[in-house]
């Protein structure tokens, strides 16, 4: 059995970068990937465009408990380093509102240049290698797969991802591997995920998009406020604004079991309260004005269904209040196949800053979404994958 210096478990964004960096500094490295090909999640990232990073790359865009770890990693491989890395591979980038994309607008371009580099460096890849055990040897580790194959090495880098898009390979199985070394796993919950609501509003408006201000409200307190797009669906709420406030909601419902969870939607953020009341009052006073057409020219025409069914007899003040602060009680979230990110994973307090080596098991390193590091939408999670993979690949 050939013994490698470094074994990378997982062939996603962080695993590929870890392997490339390890090989470039002279380490004998192998990738063990459970799927029949690499980087399947890269291909679906950014709606198929691959939002590689963000110009405003700082630890402030990540969950508070992870920020010191993120800061230490970015100090070694930050935003400029990510851009230079891909530029040297021949990938040209463009910026869109601070978000960095390949100029081709194709995630396949990103994966292609990474695969070419793996080939150039002659890095072996063990496909269909689903790791079920990491055994300690007198010196190093033996990594065993479910189908009986095994490899050995001095160091192991676990980059198996979280639980989002399990059909693409991330099913949380690597949490078990980390747990075998004594690591605490903070319960993973879906993030950047649509929300479940039972409300007549959603039924009448399904398929309708509006610009809004969305707020997460947990136990009666506002946690986060975002301006963006809202999409009404047959099951509840989606759209960028909802995805951006969903993390706290998902933690509250799926991890903490809270019941008092809501979303507040301001459907007319471009009109202040007194002006809105005056506009509604003037429209209602017009002779022959149909109540169902009350917001024509302000909200999409489909809202006539709402005003016809749900606003009968409502006062001017009540209508204005609902339009500016419509409360939707959240009963759950959609599942892992619709979540963009995982919140939770290996406790970052058990991982060494600067190197990403386990504090509990010498020679074991972590990279990517397997740790409890969750960034905002906008390229931050892929940036973490690239940066943490690069640093873990040093296996110092």
Which of 286, 308, 333 finishes a domain?
333
pLDDT band at residue 1 using 50, 70 and 90 as cut-offs:
low
Element at 107 (helix H, strand E): helix 107-120
The Cα–Cα gap between 79 and 54 comes to 7
Range 189-204 average pLDDT: 96
The Cα–Cα gap between 187 and 198 comes to 26
Q: Say yes or no: 219 and 169 in one domain.
A: no
Q: Say yes or no: 321 and 355 in one domain.
A: no
pLDDT per residue as tens digits for the range 17-29: 999 999 999 999 9
Q: Say yes or no: 288 and 224 in one domain.
A: yes
- Alpha-carbon torsion (109, 345, 334, 329), positive or negative: negative
Q: Which residues are CB-contacts of 285 (< 8 A; sequence separation ≥ 6)?
A: none
Q: What is the CATH number of the domain that holds 115?
A: 3.50.50.60
Q: Say yes or no: 33 and 74 in one domain.
A: yes
How many domains are contained in the chain? 2
Q: What is the pLDDT of residue 395?
A: 92
Q: Say yes or no: 303 and 373 in one domain.
A: no
Q: What is the pLDDT of residue 106?
A: 97
Q: Say yes or no: 207 and 71 in one domain.
A: no
Q: Say yes or no: 137 and 49 in one domain.
A: yes
Residue whose C-alpha is closest to residue 122's, from 231, 30, 233: 30
Q: Say yes or no: 208 and 303 in one domain.
A: yes
Which of 282, 306, 333 finishes a domain?
333
Range 75-86 average pLDDT: 97
Range 59-78 average pLDDT: 97
Q: Say yes or no: 51 and 161 in one domain.
A: yes
Q: Say yes or no: 161 and 248 in one domain.
A: no
Range 334-361 average pLDDT: 96
Q: What domain range is 25 assigned to? A: 3-190+342-392
Q: Say yes or no: 237 and 351 in one domain.
A: no
Q: What is the pLDDT of residue 25?
A: 97
pLDDT band at residue 314 using 50, 70 and 90 as cut-offs:
confident
Q: What is the pLDDT of residue 207?
A: 97
Q: Say yes or no: 85 and 216 in one domain.
A: no
Which has the higher per-residue pLDDT, 167 or 392? 392
Range 178-199 average pLDDT: 97
Averaged confidence pLDDT in the chain? 95
Percent of residues, the chain, with pLDDT higher than 70? 100
pLDDT band at residue 48 using 50, 70 and 90 as cut-offs:
very high
Which of 333, 351, 376 finishes a domain?
333
């Amino acid at each position: 059995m050939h013994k490698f210096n470094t074994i990378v478990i997982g062939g996603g964004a962080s695993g590929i970068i870890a392997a490339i960096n390890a090989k470039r500094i002279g380490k004998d490295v192998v990738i063990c990937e459970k799927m029949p090909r690499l980087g399947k999640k890269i291909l679906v990232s950014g709606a198929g465009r691959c939002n590689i990073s963000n110009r405003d790359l700082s630890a402030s865009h990540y969950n508070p408990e992870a920020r010191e770890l993120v800061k230490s990693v970015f100090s070694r491989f930050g935003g400029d380093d990510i851009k230079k890395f891909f530029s040297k591979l021949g990938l040209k980038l463009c910026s869109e509102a601070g978000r960095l994309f390949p100029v081709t607008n194709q995630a396949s371009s990103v994966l292609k240049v990474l695969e070419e580099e793996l080939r150039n460096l002659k890095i072996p890849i063990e496909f269909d290698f689903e790791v079920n055990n990491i055994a300690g040897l007198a010196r190093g580790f033996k990594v065993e797969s479910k189908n009986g194959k095994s490899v050995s090495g001095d160091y192991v880098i676990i980059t198996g991802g979280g639980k989002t898009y399990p059909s693409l390979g991330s099913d949380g199985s690597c949490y078990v591997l980390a747990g075998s070394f004594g690591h605490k796993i903070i319960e993973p919950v879906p993030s950047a995920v649509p929300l479940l609501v039972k409300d007549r509003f959603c039924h009448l408006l399904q398929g309708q998009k509006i610009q809004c201000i969305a707020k997460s409200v947990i136990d009666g307190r506002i946690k986060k406020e975002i301006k963006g797009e809202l999409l009404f669906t047959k099951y509840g709420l989606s759209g960028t604004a909802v995805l951006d406030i969903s993390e706290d909601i998902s933690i509250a419902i799926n991890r903490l079991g809270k019941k008092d969870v809501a979303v507040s939607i301001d459907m007319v953020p471009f009109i202040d309260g007194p002006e809105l009341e005056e506009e509604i009052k003037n429209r209602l006073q017009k002779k022959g004005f149909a109540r169902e057409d009350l917001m024509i020219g302000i909200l999409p025409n489909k809202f006539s269904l709402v005003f016809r069914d749900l606003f009968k007899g409502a006062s001017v003040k009540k209508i204005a209040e609902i339009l500016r602060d419509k409360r939707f009680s959240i009963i759950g979230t959609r599942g892992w196949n619709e979540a963009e990110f995982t919140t939770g994973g290996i406790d970052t307090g058990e991982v060494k800053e600067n190197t990403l080596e386990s504090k509990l098991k010498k020679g074991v390193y972590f990279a990517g979404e397997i740790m409890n590091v969750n960034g905002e939408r906008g390229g931050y999670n892929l940036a973490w994958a690239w940066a943490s993979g690069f640093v873990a690949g040093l296996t110092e």
